Structure 1
């Protein structure tokens, strides 16, 4: 069953999580229902892609209204395809919510156990990873392109939570909409890094197409890394939605040749 369920034209939610935990808000936006024009039509939520700043802020206000979490409770990052994770507290609220200049620098993942905060990251093909350890009310989100994936950002989140006393078997993960293996063709250089990131004898998440050309399943690569990190298979939800295949719903950096907007992953506990 598809874990990401469309709630309206502008976002999908992780329904099973939100049903189980009524104060949780978790999901992924589409490209529809905003005010941006041209390459960014219409619900672009990325500040850094060359869109009109007023339109991006207007789009973010619309999503804030839909989610019923004000923009000044959001946090956002200057994502660099790295693996740095930041633990967020209430004093961080608003950082990166209405400007790229004041976003958390060089950060590709957030986590928190406090309510009243919306963790957000931007995407246009890379893999959004959503984390929850309900017993400890810990939540997190990570940005895993190929560099973040082979850099083991998923494993680093599990380890960071381990330092908080959370065991891997207490962690649930949802792998969100991103580019599928049919649309994601890479060269030997990338595959060399992929092979180093997998345990010896692990199942392969890529296929050879022609000499030096491979189809890479980034979602499956992150699933394998999570399994190797101790997260049980039954704790992992995995979407079948592809950002590149579905031109009506999603922006895609690869499909749109770099001239495109950004969707947003989000997760947060609403305040009581």
Structure 2
């Protein structure tokens, strides 16, 4: 098991963990919570009824959540289906997403006291996930100029080999100059820098460059984390954040 603290200040506590067994998803809505979520709740001192996990689909849908969503994906089922981002202005509830190479993105507006958490794969990075998240946060009183973006551990640009189909899909979403930073070629192989793609999208939404931070760590290089690219098909890592 490996866990790191992503943020711990007067407003928020957030982290990234492989968990006890990397098993966060129940087989059926009636199943008991997994030991990983039970352990996370104990660590945070939060009941499972205050932890929220959306049912991700590698898309761009973002929802605003509150205590009424507590326990979603952990101890009960509900409407957060095909959702890859959640935002809130309520304290004491834990936002969580699962990832095994995709990018967990932590969003924080300290002034407005609004936070968000995203699961961002290569399609979402080229799509409207970040835009939609910022818009949902604005609806809760946040401002793009005040939002801090933290890019959590994910597969790095040295490991993430992709095909031309991926670059083709990025072609209309980024400028030629941006694409040169996002993609690199080594030994006739194409590699994608997800962090760079996320930074570009965030800056496009009005996020200040100095408010974007990248947490070191590659889920593929570091075998303490689970990695889909490395072969972990049934285990994942969890990202989480809570306003104190």
TM-score over 0.5 for the pair? yes
Give the CA RMSD over aligned residues: 2.1
Match of 1:45 in 2: 24
Q: Secondary structure at the match of 1:196?
A: coil
Alignment of 1:1-272 (within 5 A): 9-15=1-7, 18-19=8-9, 21=10, 23-31=11-19, 34=20, 42-47=21-26, 57-98=34-75, 101-102=77-78, 104-199=80-175, 201-202=177-178, 204-209=181-186, 213-247=189-223, 249-256=224-231, 258-270=232-244
Aligned length: 241
Query: Which consecutive residues of structure 1, in runs of 5 or more, have no partner in the other structure?
Result: 1-8, 35-41
2-structure distance, mates of 1:255, 1:64: 28
1-structure distance, mates of 2:22, 2:184: 34
2-structure distance, mates of 1:58, 1:161: 31
Q: Could you list the runs of 4 or more consecutive aligned residues of structure 1 that deviate by over 6 angstroms after TM superposition?
A: none
> Would the alpha carbon gap of residues 160 and 74 (structure 1) be closer, same or farther in structure 2, given more than 3 Å must change?
same
Q: Secondary structure at the match of 2:186?
A: strand
Q: Contact (CA 8 Å) 2:130, 2:201: kept in 1 or not? A: yes
2-structure distance, mates of 1:62, 1:10: 13
2-structure distance, mates of 1:207, 1:201: 12
